[in-house]
Amino acid sequence: MTSPTETLQKLAEAHQVDLDSAEFAALLDESDPLKDLKQEFIHPKLGTIPRETIGDPEKDCIYFLGNSLGLKPRTADRYMGELLEDWGNKGIFMHTSGRIPAAYADQ
């Protein structure tokens, strides 16, 4: 059984690139079957982060926060709007009715 490192080394050698190169990273990104999912989330820009950052303020952040909600899905505003609308129209009954009943939203 080969280790993940060995597998990556063989892949880099097969494509004649260094394991720690930008070219290898781009190769892995391009072959990632989940790569298109990135477009389903909103990525904060460096200039919108309330901390000191380095780089172009319009560039997407690299977001490595394991103890967070993660990146905001693009559909979140629509879903939250629906819940707020239900709250306004149904009052307490929004907890158990509608497309996304609040009481069951985590299921």
**Residue 82, CA atoms < 13 Å, CB-side half-sphere:** 12
Q: Which helix H or strand E contains 6, and what residues bound it?
A: helix 4-14
In angstroms, the CA 5 to CA 19 distance is: 9
- Contact yes or no for 61/44 (Cβ under 8 A): yes
Provide the pLDDT confidence category of residue 104 given band limits of 50, 70 and 90.
confident
**Amino acid letter at 10?**
K
Q: What tokens appear for 104 in the block?
A: 């069951």
Predicted confidence (pLDDT) at residue 105 exceeds the cutoff of 80:
no
Span 54-88, pLDDT tens digits: 899 999 988 777 777 888 999 999 989 998 999 99
Average pLDDT, the chain: 91
Question: What is the pLDDT at residue 86?
Answer: 92
